């Protein structure tokens, strides 16, 4: 009998009767919900049942191998009955039962020799590409069919690593006494200057999507001292590059009484800890997706902006003090360093109004780089309201729109500092992905708004 329906049990009792009979108690094991059930020890001859998506079918003369994916893990089924095989198509959801056999040749170290198969959700039509193909279809075709594309083994691994990374960052910051917060994503005015914002209608008023939690996280250092947020930022990036999204996820950190040095030390520890955590928890996945092994020096190098333009000048790229470093400059210097590093002491004119000057030329600021890719920007902030007002005016920003933001600065704003780090940029570095769209589930860019 073929059961043609999608199975979404929320608890044991809601499992349809027919399937319940077949799968028996598969839905409850001590580790929570899991579709693989082995009766007794994982040893040859044990009875096993599984449900999952058919990833691939490899037919041979007398025996066929079917790989199914269960809870992001691959399990190999061995089928030597052609009648059973007849019902199995790639991408269908099936249930199978049989006996377990240990083998180093199968993923996970065992396979199931099948004697019963159920088709639970049958594929209705052939997908536009084979998820097991070695010749990757264009990124646009894949993104148009993203849920299917995400079933490719590479993506199952990649987004599992992404989750492990975010979890590790979160735990690290908790361990350092930071409070996780959420700040508004609908804001009243084009607050920071710099990046272009997405306007929207908020009832009868004009509003915008937040380009960063900057001003809120700074204010929050007054009540909470140390805060962080992992959330979306929206930027109307005008061009389509390999490292910009219109909606990306940012790790934003802000801390009272942190100096520039404290912040860079925190990032140094955070990057080190994240890399070590994910290589501990997900090394098999990282190896499978061929992630580069990023070695870290004792301490991440720090170069001032001044040192870098001097170096570039000696290497035939003249930069005037105060000019931004372009892609070509960063490629040249980045390949020279060939690692993570900080660029510190950026000129005042290249930094936003809230960055603390060091003297009348440069600021207490830094960017974390990996080769030519910027991963994070941060620094100490101005906490004196009169300087903040002066800077706003100098930047040509309407002081009136910052009325609410300035209030806490009159009531005991602590000296503070922080940074914003692009989660997708960090993930690109860790996985070796060359296009930021690969590491976002549903990327948004100047041309793409769906799915
Ligand atoms: P870039 O110069 O690369 O455009 P930025 O200096 O404008 O970046 P910041 O405002 O410093 O960006 O934001 C902090 C971090 O957020 C960046 O270092 C980067 O990792 C990430 N980020 C910023 N904009 C984007 C974007 N459009 N897409 C993905 N990540 C971004
Ligand atoms: Mg920046």
Q: Kindly state the percentage of the chain with pLDDT values over 90.
A: 79
pLDDT of residue 39: 79
**What average pLDDT does the segment 233-249 reach?**
95
**What average pLDDT does the segment 252-263 reach?**
98
pLDDT tier, 194 (very low <50, low <70, confident <90, very high otherwise): low
Spatial distance between the Cα atoms of 307 and 309, rounded to a whole number of angstroms = 6
pLDDT tens digits, 145-182: 999 999 999 999 999 999 999 999 999 999 999 999 99
Instruction: Write down the residue that tokens 């070590």 correspond to.
Output: 276
pLDDT tens digits, 378-430: 999 999 999 999 999 999 999 999 999 999 999 999 999 999 999 999 999 99
Range of lowest pLDDT (82-96, 134-148, 258-272, 374-388): 82-96
> Could you tell me the two tokens for 389?
């007002």
pLDDT of residue 316: 95
317 versus 36: the higher-pLDDT residue is 317
Q: Identify the H or E element spanning 251.
A: strand 247-256
pLDDT of residue 36: 78
pLDDT tens digits, 196-222: 999 999 999 999 999 999 999 999 999
pLDDT of residue 20: 38
> If you count DSSP H runs as helices and E runs as strands, how many of each does the chain have, helices first?
13, 17
Report the nearest atom of ligand 1 relative to the CA of 235. Answer: 27
Nearest-CA residue for atom 14 of ligand 1: 420
Alpha carbon of 227 to ligand 1 centroid (Å): 20
Identify whether the C-beta of residue 405 lies closer than 8 Å to the C-beta of residue 191.
yes
Q: Report cis status (omega within 30 of 0) of the bond before 451.
A: yes
pLDDT of residue 35: 66
Alpha carbon of 321 to ligand 2 centroid (Å): 18
Nearest-CA residue for atom 16 of ligand 1: 422
pLDDT of residue 70: 83
Nearest-CA residue for atom 12 of ligand 1: 377
Residues 6+ apart with CB under 8 A from 208: 186, 187, 188, 189, 190, 197, 198, 199, 200
Identify whether the C-beta of residue 382 lies closer than 8 Å to the C-beta of residue 354.
yes
Domains and CATH numbers, the chain: 3-121 (2.40.50.140), 148-439 (3.30.930.10)
Spatial distance between the Cα atoms of 345 and 25, rounded to a whole number of angstroms = 62
- Using a 6 Å cutoff on CB, does residue 351 contact ligand 1? no
Ligand closest to the CA atom of residue 420: 1
Spatial distance between the Cα atoms of 99 and 54, rounded to a whole number of angstroms = 19
pLDDT of residue 191: 63
Predicted TM-score (pTM) above 0.85: yes
Report the nearest atom of ligand 1 relative to the CA of 195. Answer: 7
Spatial distance between the Cα atoms of 119 and 6, rounded to a whole number of angstroms = 10
Alpha carbon of 33 to ligand 1 centroid (Å): 38
The per-residue pLDDT of the chain, averaged, comes to 90
pLDDT tens digits, 10-24: 333 333 334 434 444
- Using a 6 Å cutoff on CB, does residue 416 contact ligand 1? no
Spatial distance between the Cα atoms of 201 and 207, rounded to a whole number of angstroms = 6
Alpha carbon of 422 to ligand 1 centroid (Å): 6
Report the nearest atom of ligand 1 relative to the CA of 237. Answer: 27
pLDDT of residue 193: 67
């Amino acid at each position: 009998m073929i059961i043609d329906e999608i199975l979404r049990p929320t608890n044991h009792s809601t499992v349809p009767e027919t399937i319940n009979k077949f799968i028996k108690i598969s839905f409850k094991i001590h580790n929570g919900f899991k579709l693989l059930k082995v009766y007794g020890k994982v040893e040859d001859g044990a009875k096993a049942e599984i449900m999952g998506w058919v990833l691939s079918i490899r037919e041979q003369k007398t025996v066929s191998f079917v790989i199914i994916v269960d809870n992001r893990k691959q399990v190999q089924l061995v089928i030597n009955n052609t009648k059973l095989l007849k019902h199995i198509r790639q991408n269908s959801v099936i249930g199978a039962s049989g006996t377990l056999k240990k083998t180093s040749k199968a993923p996970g170290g065992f396979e199931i020799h099948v004697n019963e198969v159920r088709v639970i959700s049958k594929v209705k039509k052939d997908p536009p590409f084979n998820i097991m193909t070695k010749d990757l279809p264009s990124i646009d075709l894949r993104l148009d069919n993203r849920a299917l594309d995400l079933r490719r083994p590479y993506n199952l691994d990649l987004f599992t690593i992404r989750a492990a990374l975010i979890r590790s960052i979160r735990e690290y910051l908790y361990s350092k006494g930071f409070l996780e917060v959420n700040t508004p994503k609908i804001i009243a005015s084009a607050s920071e200057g710099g990046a272009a914002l997405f306007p929207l209608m908020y009832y009868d008023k004009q509003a915008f999507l937040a380009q960063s939690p900057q001003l809120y996280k700074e204010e929050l250092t007054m009540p909470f001292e140390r805060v962080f947020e992992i959330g979306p930022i929206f930027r109307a990036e005008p061009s389509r590059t390999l490292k910009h999204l219109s909606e990306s996820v940012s790790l934003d950190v802000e801390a009272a009484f942190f100096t520039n040095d404290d912040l860079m030390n925190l990032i140094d520890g955070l990057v080190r800890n994240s890399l070590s955590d994910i290589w501990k928890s997900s090394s098999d996945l990282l190896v499978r997706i061929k992630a580069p092994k990023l070695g870290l020096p004792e301490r991440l190098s720090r170069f001032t902006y001044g040192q870098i333009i001097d170096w570039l000048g000696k290497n035939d790229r003249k930069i005037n003090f105060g000019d931004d470093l372009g892609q070509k400059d960063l490629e040249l210097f980045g390949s020279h360093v060939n690692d993570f590093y900080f660029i510190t002491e950026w000129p005042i004119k290249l930094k936003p109004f809230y960055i603390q000057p060091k003297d009348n030329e440069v600021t207490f600021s830094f960017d974390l780089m990996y080769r030519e890719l910027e991963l994070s920007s941060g620094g100490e902030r101005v906490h004196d309201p009169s300087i903040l007002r002066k800077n706003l005016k100098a930047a040509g920003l309407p002081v009136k729109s910052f009325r609410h933001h300035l209030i806490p600065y009159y009531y005991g704003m602590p000296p503070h500092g922080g940074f914003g780090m692009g989660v997708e940029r960090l993930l690109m570095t860790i996985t070796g992905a060359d296009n930021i769209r690969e590491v976002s589930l549903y990327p948004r860019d100047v041309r793409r708004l769906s799915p």
